[in-house]
Structure 1
């Protein structure tokens, strides 16, 4: 089961979403420049290794300096630029992964893009705000002081294992960015990540994630959060967007969908592992959630 392989909730969310961060290229630049990145519906990460530039997305803007990063959820285009008067070049017209603008090396940055499996958008990309700037003063920025030089050393390297190492460092970049998001729960939209980041609700949310098969009662969860039953239910619904027991059912169904496509457990085994007293109750809940039976879901995803 997922909880056995990934005991902490964020790791479970990343596993269920099938989230993978891929390095998309580097940028070396000098002089006056501007790049426009299209909306691709994917989480995009830009980290600066040297120099500075400005970022603009919708009504949000700011300065991005060495040792900092931005994460953009991919719903709108954004621009990196040195001067407001420069006409942006479309980044997708620069076909090589290692871009160079001008001859000087005043600016150096690295980009990453996060892909998810079908259905993973709701767990990750849609659960994030449009833009997060991880500034030098952010507690999580200290992780970049060692991570970005390591990425710099591996990009363009021919050392043994360089490809594997880059992939692992890209995953670490994603985790550090998500930790920065979780450090600011007020900036997250209502949803699963915000519940995990909420200091009052986190103990109850962890319990739901670690033991989804348990027949949780509202009063049990409220005690874990050291809150009254009514106060807990109201806060949980406001932060998650759904009531606690509906959250549990949704989590069970996401685990079920994942296990059906990544394991060979029977429907009966999966039903029991997720705490359902009858196979028919599990099938009914799954069909109500996904519009198909568990076996139909398994067949359809295996054919992709």
Structure 2
């Protein structure tokens, strides 16, 4: 039987984490969603220009390697200058424009030559874009949990790492070497992590959801406990004790931050783990249910059908797309 990449515990009566617990919740969710940041194109430009982007429908990251451009969106009250060594991220819900001159006629970005596009001599500005790709169902875990816009500035805690990554990316793009494609892919992944860390550093800007709960220093220990041992029959008072809070205070704060009560969050997390296992692991349905705390296959199937509107077996056969 193949190894379980999510390392789910099989004994729901065991209150301790597995011997090799999964990593932090963010890493766990990234793995569960099959998240990958794919570089989509590079722009070299000079002079007056403006590019209009449709709503990408997914998390998009734009990094500036050289020069400065300005970001504009109807959602923002003011346009934002983005300088060399900085990055922006959008959750994909809105169209936006990048420009150096607001009076320049905007060009549809979908008409750009990819993977490399030049405007003018291309000597004044250089930038690279990337999209977040996830497996089916991963959108709810990532893009939908993010605010519409993030500006990762030179003063953010992640700025040093981002500047280094952008320098390495610029070097790989400018001087093709053996293993360059692999190196660029890994740099893109690290850029994604730094962007998400920047989101976590500003929990007040996050919408209610799992990511904001992970970012909340008082709730994070309880969230980690649920992620590390989803099969355990957690009680509200146990989670409150882990968070060192009174039960009613913990319950109210969790609902306000995560958008759902703690045990509803746990149930949703269990169902997402089960859905992933059904599609990506060749294990019996009963074992999947046991791994997330259901003592019988019938009780698991009932809960799963209530959550997804279909049986575990049918979900597996259709790859979760029915």
**2:82: which partner in 1?**
64
Of stretches 205-214 and 94-103 in structure 1, the one that deviates more from structure 2 is: 94-103
- CA separation in 2, counterparts of 1:293 and 1:303? 13
Deviations 1:253-290 (A, max 9, x none): 00001111111111111111111122211111110111
**1:20: which partner in 2?**
36
1:38 pairs with 2:54? yes
**1:269: which partner in 2?**
287
How many residue pairs get aligned? The number is: 304
- CA separation in 1, counterparts of 2:95 and 2:123? 25
What is the RMSD of the two structures over their aligned residues, measured on CA atoms? 1.5
User: Cα offset for 1:303?
Assistant: 8.9
Name which of 133, 152, 156 aligns with 1:115: 133
**1:145: which partner in 2?**
163
Deviations 1:74-127 (A, max 9, x none): 111111111111111111101321111111411111110111111111100000
User: Cα offset for 1:7?
Assistant: 1.8
User: Cα offset for 1:72?
Assistant: 0.6
1:49 pairs with 2:65? yes
- CA separation in 2, counterparts of 1:114 and 1:157? 25
- CA separation in 2, counterparts of 1:206 and 1:303? 29
- TM-score, length-scaled by structure 2: 0.91
- CA separation in 1, counterparts of 2:256 and 2:320? 37
Higher relative contact order (CA 8 A, sep 6+): 2
- TM-score, length-scaled by structure 1: 0.96
1:74 pairs with 2:92? yes
User: Cα offset for 1:179?
Assistant: 0.5
Q: Which runs of 5+ in 1 are unaligned?
A: none
- CA separation in 1, counterparts of 2:163 and 2:72? 24
**2:299: which partner in 1?**
281
**1:97: which partner in 2?**
115
- CA separation in 2, counterparts of 1:159 and 1:89? 33
Deviations 1:207-251 (A, max 9, x none): 000110111010010011111100000000011111000100100
User: Cα offset for 1:156?
Assistant: 5.2
Report matched runs for 1:115-134 at 5 Å.
115-134=133-152
Name which of 105, 125, 135 aligns with 1:87: 105
Moved over 3 A (4+): 3-6
Q: Which has the higher helix share?
A: 1
User: Cα offset for 1:130?
Assistant: 0.4
